[in-house]
């Protein structure tokens, strides 16, 4: 007779109540007893979570224990760890891993191979091949009854052998993957040229973290590419191109004087966010972009329609990574970092407590917990470079960008039609005259007043967001 939900809940409470965990060994016994559980806090489905049984009242100690144990137990191959159940970090007893494969066809997110690579169970090349080919991601429909029965009987070691065989097959198509990435770079270069980036005074390359650096007359721009996400490199290139055009537009006659320098990071980021978030996600830009996608990718079908592309680029969804965030949740990422910086510099938060504090704030404000430090407190390069106090410039920059965009449309009503036609000269000319050419002659508030005729205010940015995300719905 099937168990009722109430009976299942009572049984779960009984099993979980038997465990009080203070050691790694006790944590492993708990996971093996329940089969699988959330790695940190509880989540959807009324499923058990490791935090439910940790024998301490200290939130900081809970995060410290859980974070350390999940890394060690996974690397020692005592359990499987990944973002699996409801996209939350999950610990799975090795005895249950075959059942997850049998039921879903693939455990965790498409990039779960990253976790396997961090644990030393997967070579970097193999990880890239899997990311490009998706050989291990078989859909539920493709699992026949015979295959499902076989998978249930497989050991973890045998599954790893089969996965490795898939990687060897993937070597046959690695050339196609590299060709696709080359096309992606070519497309970004085409976009940058149209925006006005002069390749005789700079260059564009690939890096793990996008950046813009250089000297007057020689600006280097990079972006990060992801084979399965064609817009990540594009938006990163737009962000860095905005900053590069600002640097290249500073007054040449004042280049060796303080007044000829940039006016600070808030203004730098306003130029980046103007192109990445506002222009690059606009309907006008999508209208111009679609033929490029058809040319370089052979994009066709309803999924590549102007409307679908626009909605894809403006989809609002919580995620762990700041650089991949939409323009609404982006500000939440900035607020999280500012809060932690403030507490670190005041002495309220010790560096050794940063990981736990980050994870707690992420859970509170974004409703998710990073799967690793790479996805959490180490995802940005700023703190490693000693660049504390930088993150608020993104928030202020977004406000400035909103005010500049409102003023551009007021004084140049045809700008959106020009963008839709791939003509960015009017936009760049306005920015050159009102912003770039000013250098450090004026303070940021005075420069914004000079450019727009109004004092710096968050109101234009809020109007922009309301029109885009409220009025259009």
- Choosing from 240, 276, 327, 341, the catalytic residue is 240
Q: What is the pLDDT of residue 152?
A: 44
Q: What percent of the chain has pLDDT over 70?
A: 78
| Averaged pLDDT score across all residues of the chain | 81
Task: Please determine, for residue 235, whether its predicted confidence score (pLDDT) is greater than 80.
Answer: yes
**pTM for this model (two decimals):** 0.67
The residue-averaged pLDDT of 142-159 equals: 42
394: Cβ contacts below 8 Å, ≥ 6 apart: 269, 273, 330, 334
pLDDT at 3: 64
Is 294 an annotated catalytic residue? no
Q: Is the pLDDT of residue 133 over 50?
A: no
pLDDT tens-place string over residues 243-294: 999 999 999 999 889 999 999 999 999 999 999 999 999 999 999 999 988 8
pLDDT at residue 8 is higher than 80: no
Span 64-107, pLDDT tens digits: 899 889 989 988 889 988 877 767 888 989 888 776 655 544 44
CATH class for the domain made up of 196-471: mainly alpha
Share of the chain above pLDDT 90, in %: 51
Mean pLDDT value across residues 180-193: 64
């Amino acid at each position: 007779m099937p168990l009722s939900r109430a009976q299942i809940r009572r049984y779960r409470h009984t099993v979980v109540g038997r465990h009080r965990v203070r050691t790694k060994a006790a944590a492993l016994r708990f996971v093996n007893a329940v089969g699988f559980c959330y790695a940190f806090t509880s989540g959807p489905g009324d499923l058990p979570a490791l935090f439910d049984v940790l024998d301490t009242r200290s939130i900081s100690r809970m995060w410290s224990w859980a974070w350390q144990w999940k890394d060690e137990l996974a690397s020692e191959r005592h359990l499987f760890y990944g973002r699996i159940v409801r996209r939350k970090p999950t610990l799975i007893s090795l005895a249950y891993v075959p059942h997850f494969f049998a039921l879903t066809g693939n455990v965790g997110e498409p990039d779960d191979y990253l976790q396997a690579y961090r644990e030393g169970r997967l070579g970097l090349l193999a990880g890239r091949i899997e990311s490009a080919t998706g050989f291990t991601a078989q859909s539920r429909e493709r699992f026949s009854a015979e295959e499902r029965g076989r998978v249930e009987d497989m050991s973890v070691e045998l599954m790893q052998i089969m996965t490795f065989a898939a990687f060897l097959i993937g070597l046959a198509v690695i050339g196609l993957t590299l060709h696709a990435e080359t096309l992606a770079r070519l497309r970004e270069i085409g976009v940058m040229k149209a925006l006005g980036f002069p390749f005789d005074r700079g260059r564009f390359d690939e890096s793990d973290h996008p950046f813009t650096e250089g000297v007057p007359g020689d600006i280097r721009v990079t972006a990060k590419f992801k084979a399965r996400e064609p817009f990540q490199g594009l938006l990163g290139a737009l962000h860095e191109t905005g900053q590069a055009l600002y640097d290249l537009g500073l007054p040449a006659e004042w280049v060796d004087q303080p007044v000829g320098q940039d006016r600070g990071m808030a203004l730098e980021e306003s130029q980046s966010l103007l192109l990445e978030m506002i222009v690059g996600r606009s309907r006008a830009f999508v209208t111009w972009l679609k033929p490029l996608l058809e040319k370089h990718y052979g994009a066709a079908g309803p999924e590549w329609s102007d409307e679908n592309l626009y909605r894809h680029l403006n989809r609002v969804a919580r995620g762990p990574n700041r650089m991949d965030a939409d323009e609404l949740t982006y500000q939440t990422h900035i607020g999280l970092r500012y809060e932690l910086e403030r507490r670190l510099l005041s002495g309220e938060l010790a560096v050794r407590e940063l990981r736990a504090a980050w994870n707690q704030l992420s859970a509170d404000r974004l409703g998710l917990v990073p799967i690793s430090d790479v996805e959490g407190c180490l995802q940005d390069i700023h703190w490693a470079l000693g660049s504390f106090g930088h993150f608020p410039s993104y928030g202020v920059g977004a406000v400035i960008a909103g005010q500049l965009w409102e003023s551009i449309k007021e004084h140049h009503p045809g700008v959106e039609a020009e963008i839709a036609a791939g003509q960015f000269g009017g936009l760049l000319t306005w920015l050159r005259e009102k912003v770039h050419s000013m250098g450090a002659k004026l303070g940021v508030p005075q420069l914004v007043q000079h450019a727009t005729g109004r004092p710096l205010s968050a109101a234009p940015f809020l109007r922009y967001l309301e029109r885009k995300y409220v009025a259009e719905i």
